[in-house]
Amino acid sequence: MNAQKQITALRNLLHKHNHSYYVLDSPTISDYDFDMKLKELQALEAAHPEFYDPTSPSLRVGGAVTKNFETLKHNFRMYSLDNSYSKEDLQNWETRIKKQVDGPVSYTCELKYDGASISLTYLNGNLLRAVTRGDGHQGDDVTTNIKTIKSVPLQLKGDFPDNFEIRGEIVLPFDGFNKMNQVRVAAGEDPFRNPRNTASGSLKLQDSALVAKRPLECFLYSLVGDNLPVTTQMQGLEKAAAWGFKVPNIAKLVSSIDEVLDFVNYWDGHRSDLPYETDGVVIKVNNLQQQEELGFTAKAPRWAMAYKFKTERVSTKLEKITYQVGRTGAITPVANLAPVALAGTTVKRASLHNADQIALLDIREGDTVYVEKGGEIIPKIVGVNIALRDDASIATVYKDKCPQCDTLLSRTQGDAKHYCPNEQGCPPQIIGRIQHFISRKAMDIEGLGGETVALLVNQGVIQSYADLYDLTIEDLLPLERMAQKSAENLVAGVAHSKQISFERVLFAIGIRYVGETVAKKLAKHFKSIDALMTASFKELVEVDEIGDRIAQSVIDFFELEDTADLFSPVNTSGERNREMITRLKNHNLQLAVSAETLVGQTSILKGNTFVVSGVFTKISRTELKKRIEDNGGKVSSSISSKTTYVVAGDNMGPSKQTKAEGLGIPIISEDQFLEMI
Ligand code: AMP
Ligand code: ZN
């Protein structure tokens, strides 16, 4: 088979498997086989850039970076919806409808997904563009990011119209949202507050590879265009599903407002069983002819109505405010409540976030508080019933000492949280740091779990993650529930972790704000812990996507205080951390990028920004970009005054050429570039 045929066959195959997995929820291939096929396709595409296709399934993994999202005008305005809250509201709506249209009216009831709305345009069955709602008249072009959402078809099947739009909602299911937060918390970052904001924030991330990692879903529910081959909303959903879209599977056709209310009541009671957030029901006149007769008000269609679920709110007594200490020393105040039933669960605790939040609502122990569970999964306290407050009540004084080690808490300006600064002596911090170190995405130490870590620390066997590497079977055997076999496994697991790559070691050592992605960037740039330890603030912020906050945190982590103050503790934390690194080095952990990864890497292009355009003959576009980055250069997607060179292949875009010429930016050929490196 020739390469082109092979590429086409692989693309078709992957489109099919994607559809089965993400749209139909019934996988037809193992994850492993899928990855292998995708790799095969990526390799072929890299070797044959001439067969580039903007709808290839390989684009699902992302990679393109958008600095500024282009504003595009909607061909058809994206309206808002009118809201209703009662049976009466709905009856009034029906009366208005009946005045305008003849004949019986039936309705489709759909869930109102709480996410970010999106409009997709398909031209000849290919996804052309994806635009956010914006102000309804114009929105942002987020096509590159949307392509990474696996349930959005890049190519359609069946009898689709040549040119149409389809609208829907991007949502982040609870499950994926919770997993993302676990990772963030492990990296010392604040968790995201709710799935909706996280979903809409994701669409505006500059790096599409990050979007690809977020488990976003897209439900499409509304066809827009001229001469569509459908006559009802319900038929529209059916057709869209046949063309390959993920449409809401909960949609019901009813013929009266009473039946609408049955649907509303059912889902109000069952929405907590759904894997994603809904904040109501959307009711639409089913017949498109009738929809057209009804038309729009200035703001919303007259043929549709949202029915908002009431956010469930209960009141209960706040018995006590306690404080939790995290791995990074961050303090979280927790409200301990008199148990109360709310949205299908019993709530006993709620996060109070930070001192400001408590002060803002003037929350006090003994208060009767209102607890809500709406969008957020975690219940939150939204207010206090002051009328029920006891005369003897006193305002909450935020704790000033660590609840675990009694050290005075500190709070830096601009940070909402208080921290316990006793990094080396505060038990939850010591244990948390080691638990993070051994976790799956960090050193992935087999045979050692979080509880054993706590036991080892509490028994005084270890005090730091470096101590793990000195552990012997004899040290472990005296511990409760530690048999010979498990002790052997633990020691072997620790030894095995010495092979873990530098970027993961860098993530594991627990520098605040250095999560997985940042660790990768730092490892790639500095290549060894020694280089990172000696890097200045300026050198750090020069690295792509490393901001002031991360840079300062890295500096603080390794900082040696040279003030010869007799009263200062012997070991500053910077000194301790450096000592820890030396010990890890002596144990032969990977504290530099391995020789294999270093092959072909230089810094000769440092300080230069490249824009790559056109089709290349010697190496693929992806390879070209990789070589720019491997040699210390930056790749950017659009030409600006910051661009140093444009590398042009065949068929370079004419607008890019004019722009480069206008700004006087040199345009070089593939050969000239290869000579440079
Ligand atoms: P609002 O923003 O409250 O005016 O509500 C209008 C928004 O609801 C639309 O822009 C959609 O993004 C969203 N929505 C969620 N689910 C649906 C649905 N099934 N049908 C129509 N709109 C929906
Ligand atoms: Zn403490």
User: Is 134 inside any structural domain?
Assistant: yes
Looking at all shown ligands, the one closest to residue 237's CA atom is: 1
Q: Are residues 520 and 656 in the same domain?
A: no
CATH number of the domain within which 46 lies: 1.10.287.610
Q: Is residue 166 in contact with ligand 1, taking CB distance under 6 Å?
A: no
Q: Are residues 131 and 277 in the same domain?
A: yes
> Which token pair is 591?
């504290």
Q: Are residues 167 and 224 in the same domain?
A: yes
Task: Return the pLDDT at 454.
Answer: 93
pLDDT per residue as tens digits for the range 404-449: 999 999 987 778 889 999 988 899 999 999 999 999 889 999 999 9
Task: Return the pLDDT at 585.
Answer: 96
Task: Return the pLDDT at 440.
Answer: 87
Supply the DSSP symbol for 666: P
> What's the 280 CA to ligand 1 centre distance in angstroms?
9
Looking at the chain, the whole-number percentage of residues with pLDDT higher than 90 is: 57
Q: Is residue 306 in contact with ligand 1, taking CB distance under 6 Å?
A: yes
Q: Is residue 117 in contact with ligand 1, taking CB distance under 6 Å?
A: yes
Q: Is residue 307 in contact with ligand 1, taking CB distance under 6 Å?
A: no
- Cα(625)–Cα(610) distance, integer angstroms: 9
Q: Are residues 229 and 151 in the same domain?
A: yes
CATH number of the domain within which 654 lies: 3.40.50.10190
656 in catalytic set: no
Task: Return the pLDDT at 618.
Answer: 84
Mean pLDDT of 132-143: 93
- Cα(392)–Cα(414) distance, integer angstroms: 34
Task: Return the pLDDT at 603.
Answer: 81
Mean pLDDT of 247-252: 92
> Which token pair is 15?
């489109």
Task: Return the pLDDT at 377.
Answer: 62
> What's the 444 CA to ligand 2 centre distance in angstroms?
27
pLDDT per residue as tens digits for the range 636-670: 877 888 899 999 888 777 778 888 888 889 999 99
User: Is 88 inside any structural domain?
Assistant: no
Q: Is residue 169 in contact with ligand 1, taking CB distance under 6 Å?
A: yes
User: Is 352 inside any structural domain?
Assistant: no
**Binning pLDDT at 50, 70 and 90, where does residue 24 land?**
confident
> What's the 450 CA to ligand 2 centre distance in angstroms?
19
Q: Is residue 199 in contact with ligand 1, taking CB distance under 6 Å?
A: no
**Binning pLDDT at 50, 70 and 90, where does residue 34 land?**
confident
pLDDT at 499 > cutoff 90: yes
Give the residue whose CA is nearest to atom 7 of ligand 1: 80
Average pLDDT, the chain: 89
Type and span of the H or E element at 334: strand 331-342
Q: Is residue 66 in contact with ligand 1, taking CB distance under 6 Å?
A: no
Q: What is the 3-state secondary structure (H, E, C) of 60-87?
A: HHCCCECCCCCEEECCCCCCCCCEECCH
> What's the 442 CA to ligand 1 centre distance in angstroms?
40
User: Is 619 inside any structural domain?
Assistant: yes
Nearest to 636 by CA among 69, 67, 147: 67
Q: Are residues 150 and 220 in the same domain?
A: yes
Give the residue whose CA is nearest to atom 11 of ligand 1: 117
Number of domains within the chain: 5
Radius of gyration of the chain (CA): 29
Q: Are residues 482 and 550 in the same domain?
A: no
Task: Return the pLDDT at 344.
Answer: 67
Choose the weakest-confidence range: 6-15, 278-287, 562-571.
562-571
CB 646 within 8 A of CB 665: yes
Distance of CA 573 to the CA centre of its chain: 32
Task: Name the residue of 78, 80, 81 whose CB sits within 8 Å of the most ligand 1 atoms, as the mutation to test its pocket.
Answer: 81
Mean pLDDT of 134-149: 93
Task: Return the pLDDT at 565.
Answer: 43
Looking at all shown ligands, the one closest to residue 233's CA atom is: 1
User: Is 260 inside any structural domain?
Assistant: no
H helical segments located in 559-646:
573-586, 595-598, 621-630
pLDDT at 120 > cutoff 90: yes
Q: Which residues, including other chains, have CB under 8 Å from residue 176's CB and lie 6 or more apart? A: 214, 215, 216
pLDDT per residue as tens digits for the range 464-493: 999 999 999 999 999 888 899 999 999 999
Please give the number of the atom of ligand 1 that sits closest to the Cα of 114.
15
Q: Are residues 191 and 208 in the same domain?
A: yes
Domain of 483 in residue numbering reads as 427-499
pLDDT per residue as tens digits for the range 607-627: 889 988 888 888 877 788 888
> What's the 446 CA to ligand 1 centre distance in angstroms?
47
- Cα(133)–Cα(146) distance, integer angstroms: 14
Q: Is residue 81 in contact with ligand 1, taking CB distance under 6 Å?
A: yes
pTM for the structure as a whole: 0.59
Please give the number of the atom of ligand 1 that sits closest to the Cα of 284.
20
Q: Is residue 130 in contact with ligand 1, taking CB distance under 6 Å?
A: no
Task: Return the pLDDT at 374.
Answer: 58
CATH number of the domain within which 438 lies: 1.10.150.20
> What's the 525 CA to ligand 1 centre distance in angstroms?
44
Nearest to 131 by CA among 81, 67, 69: 69
pLDDT per residue as tens digits for the range 549-608: 899 999 999 987 654 444 444 456 788 899 999 999 999 999 999 877 777 778 888 888
Please give the number of the atom of ligand 1 that sits closest to the Cα of 169.
12
User: Is 490 inside any structural domain?
Assistant: yes
Task: Return the pLDDT at 481.
Answer: 81
CATH number of the domain within which 192 lies: 3.30.470.30
Q: Are residues 41 and 163 in the same domain?
A: no
Final residue before a domain boundary, out of 555, 575, 596: 596
Mean pLDDT of 394-402: 94
pLDDT per residue as tens digits for the range 156-184: 999 999 999 999 999 999 889 988 888 88
Please give the number of the atom of ligand 1 that sits closest to the Cα of 248.
19
- Selecting among 67, 87, 112, 320, the annotated active-site residue is 112
Q: Is residue 507 in contact with ligand 1, taking CB distance under 6 Å?
A: no
Q: Is residue 109 in contact with ligand 1, taking CB distance under 6 Å?
A: no
Q: Are residues 548 and 439 in the same domain?
A: no
Q: Is residue 110 in contact with ligand 1, taking CB distance under 6 Å?
A: yes
Please give the number of the atom of ligand 1 that sits closest to the Cα of 79.
10
Q: Are residues 652 and 614 in the same domain?
A: yes
- Cα(421)–Cα(551) distance, integer angstroms: 19
3-state secondary structure of 216: coil
Task: Return the pLDDT at 570.
Answer: 43
User: Is 119 inside any structural domain?
Assistant: yes
Looking at all shown ligands, the one closest to residue 331's CA atom is: 2
Final residue before a domain boundary, out of 596, 620, 641: 596
Mean pLDDT of 528-556: 92
Q: Are residues 524 and 490 in the same domain?
A: no
Task: Name the residue of 114, 169, 237, 247 whose CB sits within 8 Å of the most ligand 1 atoms, as the mutation to test its pocket.
Answer: 169
> What's the 112 CA to ligand 1 centre distance in angstroms?
6
User: Is 91 inside any structural domain?
Assistant: no
H helical segments located in 499-594:
502-508, 516-526, 529-534, 537-541, 548-558, 573-586
Q: Which residues, including other chains, have CB under 8 Å from residue 429's CB and lie 6 or more apart? A: 325, 326, 327, 328, 329, 420, 422, 423
Q: Which residue has the higher pLDDT, 342 or 525?
A: 525
Q: Are residues 149 and 200 in the same domain?
A: yes
> What's the 520 CA to ligand 1 centre distance in angstroms?
38
